[in-house]
């Protein structure tokens, strides 16, 4: 009987160890995978830039980058587009994404992205994930 009780305690302890190990990995399920629009936006989101864009009446443009990504080349190409606030450009390599503030009087978000696209290497494509209209800063 003692052997059976000892065996049962060992099994219970093993089950607790396994449960603890599994619960340690549970938060990993919520980590960003880079596949959804929100992950691409979050990878380049800068609250200071967004607040400044809203205050200036600019539009925040968030893009997915597909294909070969030369972050420096993308950044330089975006900064040359009329209406883009050069200091607002953000590029992420993982997930491959891009964001910038744009004066909507100079270009539409799509026209600005098209202008950047023409400066990139063949096989690299930009797709707007979500343009964000200016939002008044909260008091």
The secondary structure element, H or E, covering residue 64 is strand 59-66
Residue 79 predicted with pLDDT over 80: yes
DSSP bridge pairs for 97: 64, 92
Task: Kindly state whether residue 137 falls inside one of the protein's structural domains.
Answer: no
Predicted local distance difference test score (pLDDT) of residue 116: 96
Per-residue pLDDT of 12-52, as tens digits, reads 554 454 444 444 454 444 455 656 767 778 888 899 999 99
Contacts of 80 (CB under 8 A, 6+ apart): 119
- Angstrom distance (rounded) from CA 87 to CA 106: 17
Residue 68 to residues 34, 74, 122: CA-CA distances in angstroms?
A: 16, 11, 9
Per-residue pLDDT of 82-105, as tens digits, reads 999 999 999 999 999 999 999 999
Task: Kindly state whether residue 138 falls inside one of the protein's structural domains.
Answer: no
Phi-psi region of 99 (alpha: psi -120 to 50; beta: other; left: phi over 0): beta
Please give the average per-residue pLDDT across 64-79, as a whole number: 94
- Angstrom distance (rounded) from CA 87 to CA 118: 21
Range of the domain at 54: 37-132
- Angstrom distance (rounded) from CA 35 to CA 73: 23
Specify whether 63 is located in the same domain as 97.
Answer: yes
Specify whether 6 is located in the same domain as 51.
Answer: no
Whole-model pTM above 0.85?
Answer: no
Single out the residue of 134, 34, 128 nearest to residue 78, CA to CA.
Answer: 128
Predicted local distance difference test score (pLDDT) of residue 15: 47
Residue 74 in tokens:
């993308």
Task: Kindly state whether residue 96 falls inside one of the protein's structural domains.
Answer: yes
Task: Kindly state whether residue 50 falls inside one of the protein's structural domains.
Answer: yes
């Amino acid at each position: 009987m003692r052997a059976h009780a000892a065996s049962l305690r060992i099994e219970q302890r093993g089950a607790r160890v396994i449960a603890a190990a599994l619960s340690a990995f549970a938060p990993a399920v919520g980590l960003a995978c880079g596949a959804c629009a929100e992950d691409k936006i979050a990878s380049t989101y800068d609250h200071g830039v967004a607040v400044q864009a809203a205050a200036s009446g600019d539009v925040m443009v968030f893009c997915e980058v597909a294909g070969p990504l030369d972050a420096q080349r993308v950044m330089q190409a975006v900064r040359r587009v009329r209406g883009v606030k050069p200091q607002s450009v953000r590029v992420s390599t993982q997930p491959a994404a891009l964001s910038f503030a744009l004066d909507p009087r100079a270009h539409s978000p799509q026209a600005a992205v098209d202008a950047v696209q023409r400066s990139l290497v063949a096989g690299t494509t930009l797709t707007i994930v979500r343009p964000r209209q200016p939002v008044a800063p909260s008091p």
